[in-house]
Amino acid sequence: MTLEIERLRRETPGCREVIHFNNAGASLMPEPVVNAIISHLRREAEIGGYEAAAESFETIEGVYDSIASLIGCTRDEIAVVENATRAWDMAFYSIPFRSGDTILTSECEYASNFIAYLQVCKRTGATVRVIPADEYGAISVEALKDAMDESVKLISLTHVPTNGGLVNPAAEVGRVARDAGVLFLLDACQSMGQIPIDVREIDCHMLSATGRKYLRGPRGTGFLYVRKDILPRLEPPFLDLHAATWSGPDRFAVRADARRFENWETNYATKIGLGVAIEYATALGLERIWERIGRLADDLRSRLALLPGVTVRDLGVIRCGIVSFSVEGKKPEDIKKRLDQARINVSVSPMRYTLLDMERRGLSAGVVRASVHYYNTEEEIGRFTYELERIICL
């Protein structure tokens, strides 16, 4: 273990308590993030909530700059909201779908997104079409190209699915969207913080992300990117006095920037914490983070493959920090419970979260999800596989 990893673990109180392989659920926050949140809450208690926000005005505004430099856009293209789902919804429900429009998506789509497609299709008469996976399990860019026609209004893609290590070719999909002149919405919830992301390179119009997963921010934080040139075309489904101005008794004017997708009241403490988490990641460097996560996850996959009855379920050629597997004759929930007892955190991905993909692969029982971060170690992976082998064999 390098000196730097030792320092990063020292700065992560949770590393002294548990082996945390649930980073795709919520990562362990580093101390500077926790401290920033608690200090702000304390100031709210001491001097008042409005007054504390005014005192930290520059820090709070700086969160937009931190996000903008993380993903390569400008600060007026960012909305900070309460989670990634709401960020995604605000973009998706702003798109004026009509009868006959087509939404193209992938097999690994997240349940919340797919439920929204179904609701909008029911309301408007649009249709959703699922692009099949290629031989490796990623969205087939060839099939996507073939599916492009006049009716396509939106390509909506999940970058990294919730249930496995697959990384979809976002930039290639972005090229197809650009060539066809259709909107491209990217759900980057699981990729943000583990994979370097540049929205100009990917060429998406909209992107949603969460704070609590690989970014190591607090729960209940998320953000939305919307490219400047399409902002005027997207009227948010909800407006308030922050997103718009009541400019006359019978008039209102929607804000010009991406904050039209926000609402007025917010959790300033966690917003500040999100900013600190992003600065923390940026200081380490996303390229280095991605390189280490990839190495640890590959190590975990190859060790799992040696265990009796274990099948690694990750798809794709490029694989990220999410490692999914099943154990013959054992329920994922039972594996999770037994690992809990050994103070090892994993989670279970049930079929209904990514219904199409899991059904296609016959994974109705769900899978165990062990998601690693850069602060995890080879020793922890060793402990994990040792405990798992005991669970399997005893």
Residues that bind ligand PLP in the complex, under the rule CB under 6 A: 83-85, 110, 158, 161-162, 187, 189-190, 210, 222
Q: Which is nearer to ligand PLP, 52 or 293 (CB)?
A: 293
CB of 75 to ligand PLP, least distance (A): 21
**CB nearer ligand PLP, residue 218 or residue 294:** 218
| Minimum distance, C-beta of residue 213 to ligand PLP, in the bound complex (Å) | 6
| Max Cα–Cα distance, the chain, nearest Å | 73
* CB 366, min distance to ligand PLP, A: 15
Handedness of CA 266, 270, 272, 274 (dihedral sign): negative
Four-CA torsion 32, 77, 158, 81, nearest 10 degrees? 50
Record the tokens describing residue 106, joined without a space: 């992938």
What one-letter code names the amino acid at 245? T
Q: Which is nearer to ligand PLP, 12 or 210 (CB)?
A: 210
Q: Structure tokens of 227? A: 């490219």
- Compute the least distance from the CB of residue 332 to ligand PLP, in Å: 17
CB of 158 to ligand PLP, least distance (A): 5
Integer Cα distance of 238 and 388 in angstroms: 47
Tell me the three state secondary structure of residue 28: coil
Q: How far apart, in Å, are the Cα atoms of 45 and each of 40, 41, 49, 53?
A: 9, 6, 7, 12
Backbone region of residue 329 per phi and psi (left: phi > 0; alpha: psi in -120 to 50; beta: other values): left
Q: In angstroms, give the least distance from the CB of 136 to ligand PLP.
A: 19
Q: How far is the CB of 36 from ligand PLP (least distance, A)?
A: 19
Residue pair 369/322 in contact (Cβ under 8 Å)? The answer is: yes
Token digits of residue 321: 């920090």
Q: How far is the CB of 149 from ligand PLP (least distance, A)?
A: 27
Nearer to ligand PLP, 27 or 190 (CB): 190
Q: Which amino acid is at 178?
A: R
Q: 195: which strand partners?
A: 192
Least spacing, CB of residue 174 vs ligand PLP, in Å: 18
Cβ contacts of 217 within 8 Å, gap of 6 or more: 29, 33, 211, 270, 273, 274, 276, 277, 278
Assigned token pair, 238: 């909800």
Return the closest-CA partner of residue 304 out of 231, 385, 380: 385
DSSP E strands: which ranges in 219-304? 222-226, 244-248, 251-254
Distance CA(169)–CA(250), nearest Å, equals 47
Q: What's the min distance (Å) between Cβ of 354 and ligand PLP? A: 8
DSSP state of 14: G
Which residue's CB is nearer to ligand PLP, number 56 or number 83? 83
